[in-house]
């Protein structure tokens, strides 16, 4: 039984290390995240970049992961959108939504 537990713990440690050093892990910098958020505000973000920004967990940085989660809350809020029932693929934020996304940028900038 101790051998099985040791193997499981060893595999968990190995996967954790591989995730931290892998070049395939989504690791946006603070500047890249700010650029993506600015593109959301001005409406120029590409759909694939929006998907990556919203859907892929940022495992290596708790601050950026928190920003990503807060962004998802904003994008899920119909009060932050011009057309909340629109089925378009774009992001059509109203002024309130743009202000909320700008607040996310401001929360990152002091630390850059």
Name beta bridge partners: 60. Answer: none
Please name the residue that has the structure tokens 């989504």.
26
Give the pLDDT confidence of 2-27 residue by residue, as tens digits. Answer: 899 999 999 999 988 877 776 666 78
| Residue scoring higher pLDDT (106 or 43) | 106
DSSP secondary structure of 6-58: HHHHHHHHHHHHHHHH-TTS----HHHHHHHHHHHHHT---HHHHHHHHHS--
Q: What is the pLDDT of residue 57?
A: 87
In the predicted structure, residue 104 carries a pLDDT above the cut 70 = yes
- pTM reported for the whole predicted model: 0.72
């Amino acid at each position: 039984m101790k051998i099985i537990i040791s193997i499981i713990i060893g595999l968990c440690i190995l996967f954790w290390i591989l995730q931290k050093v892998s070049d395939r892990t989504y690791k946006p910098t603070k500047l890249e995240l700010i650029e993506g958020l600015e593109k959301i505000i001005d409406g120029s973000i590409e759909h694939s970049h929006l998907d990556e920004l919203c859907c892929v967990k940022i495992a290596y940085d708790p601050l950026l992961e928190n920003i990503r989660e807060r962004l998802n809350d904003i994008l899920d809020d119909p009060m932050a959108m011009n057309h909340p029932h629109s089925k378009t693929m774009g992001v059509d934020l109203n002024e309130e939504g743009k202000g909320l996304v700008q607040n996310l940028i401001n929360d990152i900038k002091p630390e850059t």
